[in-house]
Chain A
């Protein structure tokens, strides 16, 4: 239980630190934070094995951290350093650390779903008991790649977990402006894929749903669609004034903060004390500080690197 809390706090602390560094211009570029959505990443990855493969999208920090990617290498990547997980060539939207099972993130909404389809295809072809999971937002649900992927995954019974983080907004507009469907899990029905819509701010509910789906995939039952209803407490990107939503909506969702909610539940159940809760947060923040510090001293990549790794060899 504390592990789940620790993961969520690490994600929160990481992204708050990223935001701070962005404000000081120590990290640059397009940054999409998942503050408020930590329960989805933490709950889902806790239900997966180390050997399972995860593909993420343009809001990937939480998924990478929950899958076990070293946070110092993530900070260094966001800061464009040679010590970054992608040697400074990928940045926030294109994190990759395949040895941890975090295959890649990609900046193209919907494109990541099709890539994950292939990762699941490879899992099946190699006859390993591995599953693939892909995280995407509600905005991806209107893309062709999404629907093509659902169909093929169902048709070929691929071990793929479609994990939709429905945070209600596709970039700057509410989901209602994009589709008449309020719950994207309904699309799964069309393709005959088992689905569940869960409270995405309830880390245990997410873990249970993903655990069931992973077991079904491992048993040869094919794909599942898990829609996690959640909310991003920040704008679409860092610097987004987010004037497209009501302040009351934001404050409502702050009361459903997945971390505080889970911590309160644990204390109420007597699983741990207030002090232990605070200690988990403090440890997470300390590890993030240390990682950020380490990243800031990393070397910049040499311009000689610019032409390397375009092709093999």
Chain B
């Protein structure tokens, strides 16, 4: 199969879902952030005149517009760009999109996709580096997908558009240059299916988004030390594939959760709770978390690097749990 970059796969997904469904429109168009590859999006603009909208900087209005348009029959994909800006759209995402189906007794749905770029980006500092997926996870009614490979971004983005639920696609700009095999045709990856990205028998590393790549890097290095790590990519938080996580824990008996959210009440905390509640008897050692420190994200490079969940930190934690 051909190999393409993550950025190319993502743009291909947007193009293909727009070709397949006239109800799909793009509101905002920085799906590749400030990456030089963002020129790829120009092809979409050319192919679909009138279906790509450049809104003013009004996240509340734009997110509300997309929810309302979805309720009225369209399938908008909103690019909120940097995840930190989603907080300006939170009223519409949390209070409206997540609730309309339930509050209306099933009469309404809001099949909207909100796209955000999360995480540490190098100099984004405290207001351009958020990872809000755990905050979002605390809101019933939303689906949350976090691709970590070129194949997954294509399949998960397509599924997000097909879904009748409001979905947040939580992406990471540091994935754009990753290369991998991607089918040419449009395909969907069903939500709620984690993927074992690397088989191993000694320790389970559960991760999502960019942290999957970091976990794979750490697992690769650990081989030289005789440690065989399994890497489970959650792919979606909602719905959550508990079974794949628990099966892996049953196999290895050890769990390290890697997460770019801040440590307290992050994604890692919830996965650790799952292991404690439903996998406790399988555990040979206490669960370990590798997450971003509980501080606002600092600007200075050495400080930012210090708080980041790196492959080195994951490796150190694997060594510790194997002791």
Contact = CB atoms under 8 A, between A and B. Distances in A.
Chain A complexes with chain B:
yes
Interface of A: 53, 55, 84-90, 94, 96-99, 103-104, 106, 108, 111, 113-123, 125-126, 144-145, 148-149, 151-152, 155-156, 308-313
Contact of B164 (A86, A118, A144, A313): A313
Contact of B61 (A84, A117, A122, A313): A117
Nearest to A87: B105
14 contacts: A88-B105, A97-B107, A108-B95, A111-B95, A118-B65, A118-B68, A120-B68, A122-B72, A125-B74, A148-B58, A152-B55, A309-B102, A309-B106, A312-B101
Contacts of B91: 108, 111, 145
Interface residues of B, number: 42
A12 to B, nearest CB: 26
B103 A118 contact: no
Contact of B60 (A53, A55, A103, A144): A144
A104 B163 CA distance: 21
Contact of A122 (B60, B68, B102, B108): B68
Given A119-B69, A151-B58, A96 B64 contact: no
B68 A87 contact: no
A118 B69 contact: yes
A149 B103 contact: no
A89 B105 contact: yes
B266 interface: no
A74 B166 CA distance: 27
Given A125-B74, A148-B58, A312-B164, A117 B104 contact: no
Nearest to B95: A108
A88 B66 CA distance: 26
B141 interface: yes
A311 B165 contact: yes
B74 A145 contact: no
Contacts of B163: 312
A118 B65 CA distance: 4
A106 B94 CA distance: 13
A257 to B, nearest CB: 33
Contacts of B74: 121-122, 125-126
B122 interface: no
Contacts of B72: 53, 103, 118-119, 121-123
B150 to A, nearest CB: 28
B157 interface: no
B133 to A, nearest CB: 17
B103 A86 contact: yes
Contacts of A117: 61, 64-65, 68
Contacts of A126: 73-74
Contacts of B67: 114-115, 118
Given A108-B95, A122-B69, A309 B105 contact: yes
B105 A118 contact: no
B103 A148 contact: no
B105 A84 contact: yes
Given A90-B105, A106-B96, A114-B68, 11 more contacts: A55-B68, A86-B107, A90-B103, A98-B107, A108-B96, A115-B67, A121-B68, A121-B69, A149-B61, A151-B58, A311-B141
A265 B235 CA distance: 66
A294 to B, nearest CB: 18
B136 to A, nearest CB: 14
A125 B25 contact: yes
B272 interface: no
Interface in B86-144: 91-92, 95-96, 99-109, 140-141, 143
The 4 closest A-B pairs by CB, nearest first: A118-B68, A114-B64, A148-B61, A87-B105
A128 B72 CA distance: 12
Given A55-B68, A104-B100, A145-B60, A114 B92 contact: yes
A115 B96 contact: yes
B70 interface: yes
A310 B102 contact: yes
B36 interface: no
Contacts of A311: 101, 141, 143, 165
A118 B70 contact: yes
B216 interface: no
Contact of A119 (B58, B68, B107, B109): B68
Given A111-B91, A149-B61, A311-B143, A86 B68 contact: no
Given A111-B95, A118-B64, A123-B72, A87 B141 contact: no
Interface in B167-192: none
A309 B73 contact: no
B29 to A, nearest CB: 15
Contact of A111 (B25, B62, B92, B109): B92
A114 B60 CA distance: 7
A104 B102 contact: no
Interface in B5-54: 25, 53
A115 B71 contact: yes
B101 to A, nearest CB: 6
B63 interface: yes
Contacts of A152: 55-56, 58, 61-62, 65
B142 to A, nearest CB: 9
A293 B63 CA distance: 41
Nearest to B58: A148
Contacts of B66: 118
A145 B64 contact: yes
Contacts of A312: 101, 109, 163-165
A84 B107 CA distance: 12
Contacts of B140: 310
